[in-house]
């Protein structure tokens, strides 16, 4: 990959991240409700899926067509139901205890898996890589060095950009979260997560 291709890919990744979607809403709701560490775990799971998409598509488009795309409805259903469940738990959550911290947080790996599910459930991501990567990959000339460069670019850029979103949401959280309105934040975040889950299930039903 030459420098122009690298810069073009970075620009396209920025567009992918800033485009509103279920993933962005989930990140904002998670950070506001549960804090920055939960957000970092979430975006780590999201980045993990982005990297794996790049690897799989770089190695074999046929693999994606034959095995991943047919599973998308099931993945969307699982991810949507899980988000609705988390939204319900968040909505019913107790007030934050500011003396002891920000209330009960999900374990890192559970939040990581939520990031994985939210990314797997989002068809925008796989459509993006299907439409973008063919412009950067010539399977006849594509080497493992090119693959390593592409994976590094995608992984670093996605994680850094989503980290900036988390930090911004964390800053807003400090400004808006008080002992008096913490239950309102719980309700809002819970409803948002549940709506994202319903959106994913709706997309799955439409695609059938």
- Extract long-range pairs of 30-33: CB within 8 Å, 24+ residues apart: 30/111, 30/114, 30/189, 30/193, 31/166, 31/169, 31/170, 31/173, 32/169, 32/172, 32/173, 32/176, 32/177, 32/185, 32/188, 32/189, 33/90, 33/93, 33/185, 33/186, 33/189, 33/190
The predicted-structure confidence for 124-160, as pLDDT tens digits, reads as follows 777 777 767 766 666 566 677 777 888 899 999 999 9
**pLDDT bucket at 46, cuts 50 / 70 / 90:** very high
pLDDT value of residue 98: 38
In a domain, 17, yes or no: no
In a domain, 16, yes or no: no
In a domain, 74, yes or no: yes
In a domain, 15, yes or no: no
Domain that holds residue 33: 3-9+22-207
How many domains, in total, are found in the chain? 1
């Amino acid at each position: 990959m030459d420098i122009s291709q690298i810069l073009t890919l970075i620009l396209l990744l920025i567009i992918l991240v800033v485009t509103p979607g279920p993933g962005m809403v989930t990140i904002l709701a998670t950070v506001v409700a549960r804090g920055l560490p939960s957000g970092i775990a979430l975006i780590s799971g999201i980045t993990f899926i982005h990297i794996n998409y790049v690897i799989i598509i770089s190695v074999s488009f046929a693999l994606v067509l034959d095995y991943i795309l047919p599973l998308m409805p099931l993945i969307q259903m699982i991810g949507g139901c899980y988000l609705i469940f988390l939204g319900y738990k968040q909505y019913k959550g107790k007030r934050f205890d500011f003396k002891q911290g920000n209330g009960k947080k999900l374990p890192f790996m559970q939040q990581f898996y939520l990031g994985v599910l939210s990314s797997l459930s989002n068809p925008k991501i796989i459509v993006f890589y299907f439409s973008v990567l063919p412009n950067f990959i010539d399977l006849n000339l594509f080497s493992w060095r090119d693959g390593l460069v592409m994976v590094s670019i995608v992984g670093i850029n996605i994680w850094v950009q989503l980290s900036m979103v988390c930090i911004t949401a964390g800053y807003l959280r400090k400004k808006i979260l008080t002992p008096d309105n913490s239950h309102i934040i719980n309700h809002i975040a819970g409803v948002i997560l549940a709506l994202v889950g319903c959106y994913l299930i709706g997309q799955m039903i439409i695609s059938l």
